[in-house]
Amino acid sequence: MPIIGNYISNVLCENFLDTETNRVRIRPLPNQGLSTDLKIECFMKYRNINIYPLGTQFIAENVKVCIKPVGRVYLRAKDQKLTPI
């Protein structure tokens, strides 16, 4: 589990349909030492499937490990920006 407040560089990620909420979300790709269950907070445009179809991959240059008031851990992209790859 990542440590709250730490920063992680160059996280490869993708947009996907979250079946729990029926919303498009961003998650880390496997094999980076991060759970693929984590969500990455970023600008909504990266979740727009008319611009970026499901499965589009991105790189988050820098993410911060954060926690919601209800206790869910998530990652927040620096300036909420991602770079499509």
Kindly report, residue by residue over 38-80, the tens digit of the pLDDT: 999 999 999 999 999 999 999 999 999 999 988 899 999 999 9
Question: Residue 2 pLDDT more than 90?
Answer: no
Number of domains in the chain: 1
Identity at 20, one-letter amino acid code: E
pLDDT at 81 over 80: yes
Domain that holds residue 37: 7-84
Residue 1 falls within a domain, yes or no?
Answer: no
Q: Regarding predicted confidence, which is higher, 2 or 19?
A: 19
Contacts of 25 (CB under 8 A, 6+ apart): 15, 16, 17, 18, 39, 40, 47
Is 2 domain-assigned?
no
pTM over 0.85? The answer is yes
